[in-house]
Structure 1
Amino acid sequence: MTSSPPPLDATQLGAYFALIEASSLLKHAVEQQLRDAGDLSYVQFQLLATLGDSPTGSRRMTDLADGVVYSRSGLTYQAQTLEKRGLVTRTPSSDDERSITVTISDEGRAVLAGVFPGHIAVLDDLLFAPLSRSDIETLADVLARARDHMRQTPPRSAEPRRRKKTADPS
């Protein structure tokens, strides 16, 4: 017989609800800023920012999907949408014909440059303004530990894709 987990205490419950509410409020403001400044969804921004941060400006779709908690089919749709706008290109991977490589274009970099100042302003105003530097360091540490723990059993959209074993040609 399995026992029920202990109930959350008032502090745990308060932390949970504060995290959810703060996250929702921040995400709403960020999404509005991204729409207004660059006609981007948050996922599209994540894709462009990840590509823009890559030394080559490129990543394989499977690698992008592994880092974003979003369905692979949904991510493919978002990449197609960005490609139609000329913000990325999608090409077959040079090292794996089954993979698609996504590359940020100059226009994609320009859109990122256009949204970043407002994006940073929203984060500074809503998230960081009421916190001290020490608070921010503590928040970063606490959230990184929680995220790393959750990534140990990620949802399917955040799991690294398992590679199929190929038959040994010998």
Structure 2
Amino acid sequence: MTQLKLLGLCGSLRKGSYNRKLMREAAAAFGEAAFSEADLNLPLYNGDDEDAHGIPAAVQTLFDQIAEADAVIVASPEYNKGPSGVLKNALDWVSRVKGNPWKGKPVAIMSAASGRAGGERAQVILRSFLTPFRPRLLLGPEIAVAGTEKEFDGNGQLAGELYRKNLGILMRDLRAELVDWEHG
């Protein structure tokens, strides 16, 4: 069997964001796979620019990465009770490319936020954003890391046993989706 391809989308552009750390922790928990992080630093979607210049190369790259991935991890911060504009913009751009790289793709969603809900509201909205693309969204266990400053250690790793345990279960289930899909 060829090596699995796992793609991570982080809704924060900050290199040291807690969501990026969480996404990397998830990739490690997923186990053996070729993991890559998508670059969501895309121009804002503008239909006039699309008409004049077509699909930007960075958007086509993102589309191709999603299409080639066996599974996708999406880590979203919560900004003003919803997912980041960066993530929404990326989804809007991908929808403009011919085809649907998300269809049937196993996707795990997670979030990390400094507040006590851990980005839970952002996840609910993000699921509705992804639904039209028809991926195979895993429903749980939900990973919403609250109080991020206390939940990650100095090495950027999850410190809490419960979060690590549930993240391991979610990644095990994401891997199982690939096996079930192949043999289903």
Scaled by the length of structure 1, what TM-score is found?
0.23
Q: Which has the higher strand share?
A: 2
Please identify the structure whose Cα radius of gyration is greater.
1
Scaled by the length of structure 2, what TM-score is found?
0.22
